[in-house]
Amino acid sequence: MKGIRVVGWLLRALVAKLLVLNIGLAQAEDYLPTPRVAAQSWLLMDHESGEVLAQGNADARVDPASLVKIMTSYVLGQALQGGAVEAHDRVTIDTDASAAGNAQLQGSSLMFLKPGDRVTIDDLNKGIVIQSGNDACIAVADYLAGSEQAFVDAMNEQARLLGMLNTQFKTVHGLAAEGQFSSARDMALLSRALIEQLPAEYALYKQKAFSFNQVVQHNRNRLLWSTSLAVDGLKTGNSAAGGYSLVTSAVLDGRRLIAVVLGAESDRLRFQESEKLLKWGFRAFETVTPIKADEVFVSKRVWFGDTHNVKLNAGAHPAISVPYGQADDVSVSAILDSPELHAPLQVGQVVGVVNFQIGSRHIAEKPLVVMEAVDEGGWFSRAWDFLLLKLYQWLGVCLLCNGEGGL
The residue type at 183: S
Active-site residue, selected from the candidate residues 41, 49, 98, 132? 132
Quick check: helix, strand or coil at residue 383?
A: helix
Active-site residue, selected from the candidate residues 41, 49, 66, 191? 66
Distance CA 72, CA 158 (A): 10
Please list, in sequence order, all residues whose beta carbon lies within 8 angstroms of the beta carbon of residue 149, skipping any fewer than 6 positions away: none
Q: Is 132 a catalytic residue?
A: yes
Distance CA 350, CA 370 (A): 7
Nearest Cα to 281, choosing from 246, 262, 253? 253
Distance CA 48, CA 257 (A): 8
Q: Is the peptide bond before 318 cis (omega within 30 degrees of 0)?
A: no
Nearest Cα to 185, choosing from 50, 34, 31, 20? 50
Active-site residue, selected from the candidate residues 69, 126, 170, 300? 69
The burial class, CB within 10 Å (0-12 / 13-18 / 19+), for 201 is buried
Kindly list the catalytic residues. 66, 69, 132
